[in-house]
Structure 1
Amino acid sequence: MGVEKFWATNLKFLRTRKKLSQDTLSEQLGMSRSKYNAHENGQTQNPPVDDLIRISDYFRISIDNLLRLDLSALSAFKLRELEAGGDGYRSGNQLRVLAVSVDKDDRENMEYVPVKAKAGYRAAFNDPEFIAALPKFSLPNLPRSGTFRMFPTTGDSMLPIPEGSDVICKFVQDWHDVKPATLCIVVLKGEQDFVFKQVTFEKDGQVLLASLNKIYEPYRVPVAEVLEVWAFYSYQTREVPEPETDMQVMAKAIKEIQEDLRKMKKN
């Protein structure tokens, strides 16, 4: 079978997903129905480049994914991610290849990304030499399963986690495993380097990033802007927590009463 392994079945799948007839779709693509029908029925060997580009632009899915991925086997979330510019070959357990360093006993180190290295991390996060040059730590009782890394935080957007804390996170290989509002370090393209937020992967190919400090408004970025996700495990801080104010104690008591009332109504 040629490189166009899933070309025909993908066309039919995408067309029926949009609830379009062959007549309607061929008209929108600017080609004859018979020509489109030949594509969809697998009668076209080595589809012309012009047709590949036209159909790829229409469905907003790369030519490579149209030819080589069985789109019908993907979740609705993954399809929307592809339409938003994601890479189909970065899914599931093959999502990302993580650069790590190991100690003399061939055990993974926990690297620390200091503030001065934040700007360079985005460009070199998958460079083994860069990762090997980062400071390394070992903490007792850290789970042996998984890869952990420590990141510094700045600003007060994640209070009550103190400003300037160092957060320890576990690498997330498959982003579909991230439950809504999970605390994560998210490494982004562009100027932000990485952010520490409550993370929700939405069905429309967007990622909702929310702060614990409600003064800050949540915002969204496209999935295609995300490079790495690290789920929160614990944090280190030199600050001693301040005792709760009378207002905080009162607010907590009111919240507990409201929760009790909700439970009583359910029963």
Structure 2
Amino acid sequence: MENLNKNLKHLRLRKRLSQGRLSNRIGIGTSSISAYEKKRSVPKITTLMKYSKFFKRNLDELVNEDISKLDQEKTQDTKGDKLRVLPILVDAQNEEMISLVPVKAAAGYLNGYSDAEFISELPNFRMPFAELSENKTYRAFQIEGDSMLPIPSGAYIICEYVQDWELIKDNSCCIVLTDDDGIVYKRVKKDFQNNQLLLNSDNPEYLSFEVSLNQVLEVWKSLGFVSFTLPEPAGNNKK
């Protein structure tokens, strides 16, 4: 168990979580988390299971491996030269449709993103906008939460598929699908030297966090959004 304390700290910091915020997320006391990371105490198996489920790491990795080294050694194909399965739908004219992933389908998308049958069951449509090329693949994702204000919760983000992650412009807004966090909408900064992406929120109340490239499944560049929440007029103070 020589790496356990280092692994627990590494996983927490990689998500940019304080000990207090992690405590709230997994139901373990802050003092206990501190003790585990400083090797003053060894977590029970039930506690390790909470860590394992939250960080999506198996118990063998948590206890026996050096996860920080594993994350660095596993290199990801950033250019997309290797085959990535991307199911698409076409209409009767053989023109590609845009698949919509609503919030209620977000959990299922993590498991079904490469499943043609799952994609076919999503709402699929076309958008007659000149800004959308016939030679590219688009998808729409509904977001929830206020981490990217002023874009409101419930907005639909219209995205273009990114095959070559090296083309991602730093600080551009993207939908990122990851093993750990599912669908997230953030500003992305590349850190390929450390085999990771840095994800930032526009709402300053939310901390930035890193994701290992080995956890990234898809990246979609944001082009625009559709919202049915209309903004209030500027200076509209009700009396």
TM-score scaled to structure 2, two decimals?
A: 0.64
> Which residue does 1:86 correspond to in 2?
75
| 1:91-115 residue CA offsets vs partner (Å, 9 max, x unmatched) | 4343523111111111111000122
**Equivalent residue in structure 1 for 2:120, among 128, 132, 141:** 132
The structure where helix makes up a greater share of residues is 1
Contact 1:124 1:130 in 2 (8 A): yes
Q: What secondary structure, in the 3-state scheme, does the structure 2 residue paired with 1:92 have?
A: coil
Question: 8 Å contact 2:160–2:220 — kept in the other structure?
Answer: yes
- Select the residue among 194, 210, 219 that pairs with 1:220: 210
> 1:84–1:180: structure 2 CA closer, same or farther, 3 Å change rule?
farther
1:193-208 counterparts in 2 under 5 A?
193-202=182-191, 203-208=193-198
Q: Report the CA distance shift for 1:159/1:84 in structure 2 as closer, same or farther (over 3 A).
A: farther
Q: Please point out which of 133, 139, 146 is paired with 1:143.
A: 133
Higher relative contact order (CA 8 A, sep 6+): 2
Q: How many pairs were matched up?
A: 166
Shift in alpha-carbon separation, 1:223–1:211, aligned structure 2, 3 A: same
Instruction: Name the SS for the 1:180 alignment partner.
Output: coil
Give the RMSD, CA atoms, in angstroms.
2.2
Q: Matched residue of 2:194: which SS?
A: coil
Residue-by-residue CA offset, 1:136-174 (whole Å, 9 max, x unaligned): 121111322210001011000000111210111000001
* Equivalent position amino acid for 2:186 in 1: K
Q: Which runs of 5+ in 1 are unaligned?
A: 1-59, 62-80, 247-267
Matched, 1:177 2:180: no
Note if contact 1:101-1:132 (Cα within 8 Å) is conserved in structure 2.
yes
Q: Any gaps of 5 or more consecutive residues in structure 2?
A: 1-68
Task: Return the alpha-carbon distance in structure 1 between the equivalents of residues 128 and 206 of structure 2.
Answer: 35
Whole-angstrom CA distance in 2 between matches of 1:183 and 1:225: 18
SS in 2 for 1:94: coil
